[in-house]
Structure 1
Amino acid sequence: MIAEFGGDAEVGQKIGSIAQQTNPVLLLRFGAATHNAHRIHYDPEYARIEGLDSPVVMAQLQGALFFRAAALFAGEPAAVVSVGWRNRAPAYVGCELVVTGVVREISDGLITLDLEERAADGTLCAVGEAVVIANMKPVC
């Protein structure tokens, strides 16, 4: 079953996936909002000097995608207690990133999710986890 959390989560349950098509404008705007002006995110020549094939997606944007997946599952952004991730491979600007996950643990009113992010070609770009409050009523 793949769905948003409806109150009866089960260990092993898949969560709904989220996808984000990346592009230079998205990276420019996200970089401006987060004060991240590192050239590897927008300058192809500089990215190559740093050993990359082309500009890469910011790690913070990848974390934001993990947060979105957890919030979608919980049904309420305020239910997200924590999000953590580790980058495994570059996510190149222009790729579509897809975050998927499963319920790993349910304990003491909290649900722990195992999350992963892959590029459209199947490359595992990041792995992580999120903890959400079970059965949280909407804030607004």
Structure 2
Amino acid sequence: MNLMEADISLRSSSLGDQLGPYDRTATAVQLFRFSAETFNPHRIHYDKDYAAVEGHPERLVQAHLLGAFLGAACASWAGAGHQLKNLQWSNRSPVYVDQAISIFGNVYSIDRDGDAIFIKLDLRILSIDGSVCVEGQADIII
């Protein structure tokens, strides 16, 4: 779905509408760069051997990178001209480098004030096996 189609579909959304999937896979380069850009020195995100010492099979995707993925999904669904007013999330299970994930949203509140539409979304990131990795909420104005 392109941004214009996303904008049209979110503008005409109804309570209970499902959004997604918005698919992502974090790469090793992405994890390293995100750690550098956010001044996150924890080796668990970029050193596979160290991640094993901590009991993980692979490098962990940073919580804030998962949050960035959520924000990008909301932007894609809302289209041009939106405002992401609030984004919050809670990690439920680890996401590892090169692990495919899908982001889904559910419209649970819609309020209109003139031309503005205030939409509240429940968000979740699922692993390929369907387990919940992240749950969250977003408030969007379009």
Into which bin does the TM-score normalised by the smaller protein fall? 0.7 to 0.9
Q: Summarize deviations over 1:25-72 as a string: whole Å, max 9, x none.
A: 111112222222211111223222223222110001100011011111
Identity of aligned residues (%): 36
Residue 123 (str. 1) matches residue 131 (str. 2): yes
Deviations 1:73-132 (A, max 9, x none): 111364211111000000011101211111011125310001100122323110101110
The structure 2 residue matched to 1:110, chosen from 118, 125, 133, is 118
Moved more, 30-39 or 84-93: 30-39
Would you identify which runs of 4 or more consecutive aligned residues in structure 1 move more than 3 Å? none
Listed as ranges, the gaps of 5+ residues in structure 1 are none
- Equivalent in the alignment of 2:77: 73
CA distance, structure 2, for counterparts of residue 51 and residue 112 of structure 1? 37
State the secondary structure of the residue aligned to 1:61. Answer: helix
Task: Give the secondary structure class of the aligned counterpart of 2:138.
Answer: strand
- The Cα RMSD (Å) is 1.7
Q: What pairs with 1:87-98 in structure 2 (closer than 5 Å)? A: 87-98=91-102
> Which runs of 5 or more residues in structure 2 are unaligned?
none
Count, aligned residues: 132
